[in-house]
Amino acid sequence: MRFLDDVIAGRNPVREALRANRPINKIMIAEGVLAGPLQEIYNSAREKNIPVQKVDRRRLEQLSAGDLHQGVIALASAREYVEVEDILDGVGPDQEPFLILLDEIHDPHNLGAILRTADACGAHGVVIPRRRSAALTPTVARSSAGAVEHVPVARVANMVQAMEGLKAKGLWIAGADAEGREVFWEARLDGPLALVIGGENKGLGRLIKERCDILVKVPMGGRINSLNASVAAAVLAFEVVRQRRKA
């Protein structure tokens, strides 16, 4: 059994990781006809809602660092994911929920930095999409400076549906957007809140924007018209802290 950073290589190691319900971000299978153990692994991953990607064998050889991959590699998570309900259940009786939702943050260093911010500002948890997003890899864990051990992270198949579910439970959804109608310090960001941060270079997706109750902006005075995603998350998250303390 070979572990290279977050890589599990080989049919039996991957199959046993699935049977043991080890947290897995993604499984990569060599392109070609699925049969035997590879078909079993593929079916098991799909049943567990684990993304499966078919790739060239050379990609598997690069990731396995020379170990026998037998046509399959699993990318394991640095920590187990939770459900959104688990995050809400962790909110104390004298607290109002505060979640940070991430719309396709791809850079693991950004995700790690946001987890660090979430811990520092007392957010109850972070929600990321299952696909098209950085996952909880060791790189994220290192970038979080240990915060990954303390901040629950939920991974959802559909962020829009997750937002609707939070709305149904009384949370206000605030999205960070350069074209937002209100400057962030003038908006109401106290009370039960989910703060949505968009991905690098793209911001919030259209459907995500449409589901937000409010869009807020960080005014920019220089020649660069946007902030790094993790910096924007920190600025807005601590405005939430400021308003809650003021209230």
Q: What mean pLDDT do residues 231-237 have?
A: 95
pLDDT digit string (tens) for 7-60?
888 888 888 889 888 889 899 999 887 888 899 999 999 999 899 999 998 888
On whether both 202 and 224 belong to a single domain, the answer is yes
pLDDT of amino acid 178: 86
48, 76, 104: which is the final residue of a domain? Answer: 76
Complete edge-to-edge strand list for the sheet that includes strand 153-156 = 153-156, 125-129, 98-103, 193-198, 172-176, 214-217, 182-183
pLDDT of amino acid 239: 96
pLDDT digit string (tens) for 145-189?
889 889 999 999 999 999 999 999 999 999 999 888 899 999 999
On whether both 108 and 22 belong to a single domain, the answer is no
pLDDT of amino acid 135: 87
| CA–CA separation, 218 and 220 (whole Å) | 6
Under the banding of pLDDT at 50, 70 and 90, the label for residue 66 is low
pLDDT of amino acid 247: 63
pTM of the model: 0.80
HSE at residue 175, side-chain half, CA atoms within 13 A, is 24
Give how far Cα 92 sits from Cα of 86, 104, 127, 192, Å.
12, 29, 19, 12
- In the 8-state DSSP scheme, what is residue 165? H
Q: What mean pLDDT do residues 232-244 have?
A: 95
On whether both 96 and 158 belong to a single domain, the answer is yes
Residue owning tokens 């060239």: 56
- Count of the separate structural domains present in the chain: 2
| CA–CA separation, 47 and 8 (whole Å) | 19
pLDDT digit string (tens) for 200-231?
878 899 999 999 999 999 988 777 667 789 99
On whether both 182 and 214 belong to a single domain, the answer is yes
pLDDT of amino acid 176: 94
pLDDT of amino acid 88: 97
Residue 49 dihedral angles phi and psi, to the nearest 5°: 60, 35
On whether both 209 and 91 belong to a single domain, the answer is yes
On whether both 108 and 229 belong to a single domain, the answer is yes
| CA–CA separation, 235 and 195 (whole Å) | 11
Under the banding of pLDDT at 50, 70 and 90, the label for residue 67 is low
pLDDT of amino acid 169: 96
60, 76, 92: which is the final residue of a domain? Answer: 76
The helix-helix angle for 11-19 and 36-47 (nearest 10°) equals 30
On whether both 143 and 189 belong to a single domain, the answer is yes
Residue 12 belongs to domain spanning? 2-76
pLDDT of amino acid 4: 41
Instruction: Give all strands (DSSP E) within 120-192, no chain letters.
Output: 125-129, 153-156, 172-176, 182-183
Say whether pLDDT at 3 is over 50: no
On whether both 118 and 236 belong to a single domain, the answer is yes
Write the CATH number for 178.
3.40.1280.10
Say whether pLDDT at 101 is over 90: yes
pLDDT of amino acid 223: 72
pLDDT of amino acid 154: 96
Residue 153 · residue 126 · CB < 8 Å? yes
On whether both 26 and 92 belong to a single domain, the answer is no
pLDDT of amino acid 69: 87
